[in-house]
Amino acid sequence: MAAPINCIIVDDEPVALDILENHLSKIDDVSILERCTSATDAFNIISRENVQLIFLDINMPEISGISFAKSINKNIQIIFTTAYREYALEGFNLHAVDYLLKPISFERLLDAINNYRKNHAEKETIIIPEKESEFIFVKIDRKMVKINFNELLFIESYSDYLKIHLLTDTKITRETITAIEEKLPKSKFIRTHRSFIISIDKIESYTNDQLVIQQKSIPISRSFKEQVLEKLAEYH
């Protein structure tokens, strides 16, 4: 038997969650990891679980399904579920596996799962270059706040919180530096110290032991020195 498809369902309507859960429970190789009523809940799940597929409502409070889909790892597949036909083009532009209009029948859902299986099988044999995201969402003061990569200077870790230093201000979050590091593209950011992640294109100067971003001296620790200097040597 094939490995289970690990999925989550994201919808702010309990009835919609119940219908999808009931349909999916009839498909042997689908494993529902969680039901989420908001994008914020879904962010927390995908940060700690191996989620392969998300059934995602579009019209949700605070963060729409479209914004959420743009911000997550592109290896996680999306099947949009919505009552609004007008979002279909934008959904498919995000390379969604499928776009299901409510009310969703079991037969239509099964078609979408089969589309996922087909896409997944093709990806195992064809390497598709992944377009990197240009931002992430970070939980700040009980809401998810958008952090644009082109505004991010560096991240500084303290005992139980992080300071995210931007071009114009500083944000504070309770996320761990390791969790943030996993969300950032390695082509643009690098860990220089257990307490620092920096934006490579914001570096003004560097030595073997430190680098400077907007007149702030940031250490390069012994444990990270080799990988940092090796990365920076690519730009010589």
Q: Tens digit of pLDDT for each residue in 154-181?
A: 999 998 899 999 999 999 999 899 989 9
β pairing state of 189-193 and 210-213:
unpaired
Say whether both 106 and 175 belong to one domain: no
Q: At 226, which CATH number?
A: 2.40.50.1020
Distances in Å between the Cα of 3 and the Cα atoms of 21, 30, 181, 196 are 19, 9, 29, 38
Peptide bond into 185 cis (omega under 30): no
**Is residue 131 situated within a structural domain?**
no
Say if residues 82 and 59 touch (Cβ distance below 8 Å): yes
Q: What pLDDT digit, counting tens, does each position of 92-149 carry?
A: 677 889 999 999 999 999 999 999 988 877 655 444 445 567 899 998 988 889 999 9
Closest by Cα among 227, 225, 235, 229 to 201? 235
Domain range enclosing 152: 145-233
Burial 75-94 (b: 16+ CB within 10 A, else e): ebbbbbbbeeeebeeebeee
Please check whether residue 133 lies inside any domain of the structure: no
Q: What's the pLDDT score for residue 123?
A: 59
Rg (CA), the chain: 20
Alpha-carbon distances of 159 from 12, 118, 132, 174, 200, rounded to whole Å: 35, 46, 30, 10, 24
For residues 204-217, give the mean pLDDT.
Answer: 95
Tokens of 125: 């044999």
Long-range Cβ contacts of 208-215 (<8 Å, 24+ apart): 213/153, 213/154, 214/153
Q: Report pLDDT digits (tens) over 175-203.
A: 899 989 988 999 999 999 999 999 999 99
Tokens of 11: 């919808």
In a domain? residue 157: yes
CATH of the domain at 97: 3.40.50.2300
Residues with Cβ < 8 Å from 210, sequence gap 6 or more? 217, 218, 219, 220
Q: Does residue 115 sit in the same domain as residue 37?
A: yes
Edge-first strand order for the sheet with 210-213 is 205-206, 210-213, 216-219
- Helices 106-125, 14-24: axis angle to 10 degrees equals 70
8: confidence class by pLDDT, cuts 50, 70, 90: very high
Residue 140 lies in a domain: no
Instruction: Give me the half-sphere count of Cα atoms (radius 13 Å) on the Cβ side of residue 69.
Output: 26
- Two tokens at 232? 């920076």
User: Would residue 185 count as lying in a domain?
Assistant: yes
What domain count does the chain have?
2
Percent of the chain with pLDDT over 70: 93
Predicted pLDDT of residue 60: 87
CA distances from 14 to 20, 103, 144 (A): 10, 14, 22
pLDDT digits (tens, 9 = 90+) for 67-81: 899 888 888 999 999
